[in-house]
Chain A
Amino acid sequence: AQSVTQLGSHVSVSEGALVLLRCNYSSSVPPYLFWYVQYPNQGLQLLLKYTSAATLVKGINGFEAEFKKSETSFHLTKPSAHMSDAAEYFCAVRNTGGFKTIFGAGTRLFVKA
């Protein structure tokens, strides 16, 4: 069965600092992986997705994520945090052979001025 673990329910960084949000997945077959962002009382917006092409995936708003099969990880990074990055971030996994997408519990990012 597939699953997603997001390490750290809350992450706090200073404006301009590196953002690192961790995601580990469990899947018996090669997965598709997604990162979504959610602002308060809004739906989820796709940041980026991995679909077995390049292992380093670039997304919107300066975010990127690297797929590491050996570590079963898909961590999200951004070199320099902006106040507008404060939101909830969700990692999600879907098996290549299936159609069900499983979401992690989310990580809330706080950005300090």
Chain B
Amino acid sequence: EVLLVQSGAEVRKPGESLKISCKGSGYSFPDYWIAWVRQLPGKGLEWMGVIYPGDSDTRYSPSFEGQVTISADKSIRTAYLQWSSLQASDTAMYYCAKTYSSVWPENFEYWGRGTLVTVSS
């Protein structure tokens, strides 16, 4: 069974840093892209970027490039999304998702349950 287990909810103050995680199991982790998708409260889905754990090839949405960093450690089957300085506008649910194949672009076949990030002073 394919599973993507995301880290728990986080509460941070503006200006703080944060790294959230997504651990994959039940498939060959290096061979499929892992994407991060943001959902602001009451809003739609926004693709942030994607990483191929096999060689760490990373692509960012122009909307998020420079704002976040995506990384992965294939030895522990985990992908990461990190911020160096959070803003209140980063308050959202963040989902990781595994692609259907190793081709890019691709659809997102399996999703994690999401990590709720709250940024408030």
| A and B: bona fide binding partners | no
